[in-house]
Chain A
Amino acid sequence: MKQFFLASILAGAMALPAFATDYTILAPAGPGGGWDQTARSLQTALQDEGISERVQVVNVPGAGGTIGLAQFASQQKGKADALIVGGYVMVGAILTNKSPVSLQDVTPIARLTGESVALVVPAASPLMSVADLVTALKADPGSVSWGGGSAGGVDHILAGLFAKAADVDPTKINYIAFSGGGEALAAILGSQVTVGVSGYGEFEAQIKAGTLRLLATSGDARVPGADAPTLTEAGLDVVVQNWRMVAAAPGLSDEQKAAVTADIQKLATSKTWQDMLKTKNWQDTYLSGAEFDAQLAKDISSTEAILKDIGLVQ
């Protein structure tokens, strides 16, 4: 009896880790940035929802997330309790930085949030619509300056795709890279550049206040509450979404992968997570499994193609 009792306690103690995994999340960015915030929100939600007992966040910043990715792929192989946060920016950074490690070297689990990229002009600009912008671009590509984030980033990619869809040589676009969307916003507000390209959230307040005019957004659907077409609706076959995802370590068994996916699924539908998305103003674009894998593969190939067209990748 006594032995049975002891054995059951032991068995219980050993079984415990199977119920709740103590996750370690790698944020491939410094404290405070977007990926860091995603990682820390995941941490809070996983703990508060009781999906995981204890979650740790580790920051490994640098080079568009590729340094963190490389470290994660090599050091966490086969560990079912390791997660990394990433996003579309990484897709471009892997290509432009010629990173030896790519997203194929980790196990993508699910897309969590996403944001449409917005094209804006100052309120006083003569450009009223996407058609006007296309006309101006065709007339003289150099005279249209695009202000957005760093070279090879999602903003630059969108500008390139836009030109290509409008039958303009993408290498001829006059893209002015600023450090982050903030500085680009200042440049567009000061009418230093013709068009502003950045995440919708970055421009939202200005659009609502009427100081900037929204020409179009880049997602597959309109941004709720925004009075502008998608690029597809405006006649250009371009869809770009700046998404954030969570991935697990490489070399997991199918059961392990399924367990992690189940945990993330539980998280994504939880109230804590949903409330968090609301306070942070993040769009819920949850996508997992084969659908996510297909989407990812499509994004990677189209990004590679356009970066070659722009001339950033040879």
Chain B
Amino acid sequence: MNEAPVKQAEERRPDWAALAIAAVLVVIALVIFLDASRLREMMGYSPVGPASVPMAIAGALVVLAIWTVFAGFRGDFPKREHQEIAPVAWIVGGLAAQMLLLTTAGFSIATGMLFALTAAGFGKRKFWISIPLGIVISFVVWAVFSQLLKLSLPAGPLEQLFF
């Protein structure tokens, strides 16, 4: 999708996303470098110790960051399609809801919320249908996997009502 790199004049402008990515890579490299330099060099009999490989990876990330900056200035980055934020927020919300509810409300209710919020992200916002549907599906999944197959899935009030 990124054929014909030299097209219009506006592509001569630096790609800010590329610069941001490069910055992130440098930060990761820095974190690795700091962490590795605090390690005790317990080499044993190997000249390559526990810090050697992390240092090499940190170095490579810095090189890649520089390369990314060049690519950004040359406009080598592919054109991004427009992204809609709302659906992403719905689904991330669903995953967060599941994470927070899992230990207190149990698997079925938590995962039911994930189901409904994901469906909402794709445009189905009728929660009076999707939440009960999600909980029922998750409950069936819970019953099969925890009762039949003995997988340890967190139980909440709903599960304890039945089992």
Contact = CB atoms under 8 A, between A and B. Distances in A.
B152 A174 contact: no
Q: How large is the interface on B (under 10, 10 to 19, 20 to 34, 35 or more residues)?
A: under 10
Contacts of B45: 142, 174
Contact of B152 (A58, A175, A311): A58
B77 to A, nearest CB: 39
A270 interface: no
Interface in B121-163: 150-152
A85 B152 CA distance: 15
A57 B42 contact: no
A175 B150 contact: no
A63 B44 CA distance: 23
A56 interface: yes
A57 B150 contact: yes
**Interface of B, helix, strand, loop or mixed by DSSP:** loop
A59 interface: yes
Nearest to A24: B152
A133 B150 CA distance: 47
A311 B42 contact: yes
Contact of B44 (A31, A56, A57, A174): A174
A58 B155 CA distance: 11
Contacts of A175: 44
A56 B42 contact: no
Contacts of B42: 311
Contacts of B151: 31
Interface in A46-60: 56-59
A57 B42 CA distance: 39
Interface in B42-59: 42, 44-45
A281 to B, nearest CB: 23
Interface string A48-90: 0000000011110000000000000000000000000000000
Interface in B15-42: 42
Nearest to A174: B45
B152 A59 contact: yes
B63 to A, nearest CB: 31
A311 B151 CA distance: 40
B143 to A, nearest CB: 15
A55 B14 CA distance: 63
A11 B42 CA distance: 65
Interface in A3-46: 31, 40
A57 B147 CA distance: 11
A59 B44 CA distance: 35
Nearest to B152: A58
Contacts of B152: 56-59
Nearest to B153: A58
A311 B42 CA distance: 9
A90 B42 CA distance: 23
Nearest to B154: A58
Nearest to A36: B152
A59 B150 CA distance: 11
B153 to A, nearest CB: 10
A171 to B, nearest CB: 9
Contacts of A142: 45
Nearest to A143: B45
Interface of B: 42, 44-45, 150-152
Interface pairs A-B: 3 shortest CB-CB: A58-B152, A174-B45, A59-B152
10 contacts: A31-B151, A40-B150, A56-B152, A57-B150, A57-B152, A58-B152, A142-B45, A174-B44, A174-B45, A311-B42
Given A142-B45, A174-B44, 10 more contacts: A31-B151, A40-B150, A56-B152, A57-B150, A57-B152, A58-B152, A59-B152, A174-B45, A175-B44, A311-B42
